[in-house]
Structures are given as C-alpha cells and as structure tokens.
Structure 1
C-alpha cells in the first residue's frame, strides 16, 4: 500500500479523487469564474458542497429565492477555512487568476441532481457589485 497524491494545474475544476461516498476536486480560476465572465448560478439539490481556499482570492456568491425574486449575498473566503454550501442554495465562485481551491462533495453530485440558472443583465450587475 502507498500514499497517493493528486494535483491539477489547469483552468477550471477537475475531480482528482473519488470513491463511493465522496469526491475531492481542485478548482482553479477559469474565465467563467472571473468577475467579468460569470453569467450563472448553480445549485446541488441533494448534497452540500465544501470549499477550502488554498491560494489567491475567492468570493462566494449565493442567492436565496424569495417572493420578490433572488436575494444575493456574498462571502469573501479566507485561506484554510472550510466553507459549506448547503444543498439547494444557488451559488457560484468569483476568482482571480492565481486562485486555487479544494472542493469536497458527495460522489453522487452530478448535473442530474443539480440546476444551472442563467442570470439576466441586472442580476449580473448586482453580483459584480458584491465581488
């Protein structure tokens, strides 16, 4: 038996470890997560998702559904802290080019039990003001 290690240096996210219970990914900057490129939110309907910032800067953007529409909020991540995105919470990450994060989620999380919400121009402006 040996100890394995994993890395990913490309743009975006890649799952680097997976078993029957959970998955670990490395998420790096990509144009769609830049403040000028973000145009959507996502949610995972059955599972929480965890993020740990290891390098750079990241703002977690989230939205709660209300009778008046989406209410946006943001959290600036701090390196070394674990941030939990609860199941069904609309969210996305705004990152800079030197950003690297660890992502941990249930191995059954997929697009089959997740949703993508495309944002309109007013929503994009609102999110950019939070970054």
Structure 2
C-alpha cells in the first residue's frame, strides 16, 4: 500500500478523490465564477458542502428565500478556514483567476439532488455591489 496524492490545475472544478461516503474536489477559477460571468445560484438539497480557500480570493454568495424573494448576502473567504454550506442554502462562488479551493461533499451530491436558479439583472447588480 502507498500514500496517494492528487492535483488539478485546470479551469473549474474536478473531483480528485471519491469513495462511497465523500468526495474531495479542487476548484479553480472559471469564467462562470468571475464577477462578470456569474449568472446563477445552486443548492444541494440533501447534502452539505465544505470549501477551503488555499490560494487567491473567493467571495461566497448565498441567499435565503423570504416571501418568494432571494435575500442575497456575501462572505469574503479567508485562507485556511473551513466554510460549511448547509444543504438547501442557495450559493455560488466569485473567484479571482489565481483561486484554488478544496471542496468536500457527500459522494451522493449530484445534479439529481441539486437545483439551479438563474439570477435576474437586479440580483446581479446587487451581487456586484456586495462584492
């Protein structure tokens, strides 16, 4: 038996380790996570998700629903801290081109238990103001 290691330097996110219980991914900048490219939020309906910023910068965008509207908020991530995105919380990331994050989630997280919501121009303007 040997110790294995994993890396990913491409655009976007790639799962680098997965077993029957959990997944570890590396998430790098991609156009859809740039402040000029963001257009939606997602939520995982059955599983939490963890992020750890290790390089660059990232702002977590999140929203709770109130009276049919999304209340948008942000958290500026700090390096080497673990951020928990609880299941059913709308969220996305805005990253700089030099960003590298570790993502940890249940291996059953998939598009089958994930929803996406498109952001309108008013919501996008609010996000740009918050970031």
TM-score using structure 2 length: 0.99
Map of 1:6 onto structure 2: 6
Q: How many residues align?
A: 131
RMSD over equivalenced CA pairs, Å: 0.6
TM-score using structure 1 length: 0.99
Cα deviation per residue 1:91-120 (whole Å; 9 max; x = unaligned)?
000000000000000000000000010111
Mapping 1:19-34, distance limit 5 Å: 19-34=19-34
Cα deviation per residue 1:7-65 (whole Å; 9 max; x = unaligned)?
00000000000000000000000000000100000000000000000000000000000
Deviation at 1:68, TM superposition (A): 5.4
Mapping 1:20-99, distance limit 5 Å: 20-67=20-67, 69-99=69-99
For structure 1, the 5+ residue unaligned runs are none
For structure 2, the 5+ residue unaligned runs are none
Is 2:122 aligned against 1:122?
A: yes
Runs of 4+ in structure 1 deviating by more than 6 angstroms, as ranges, are none
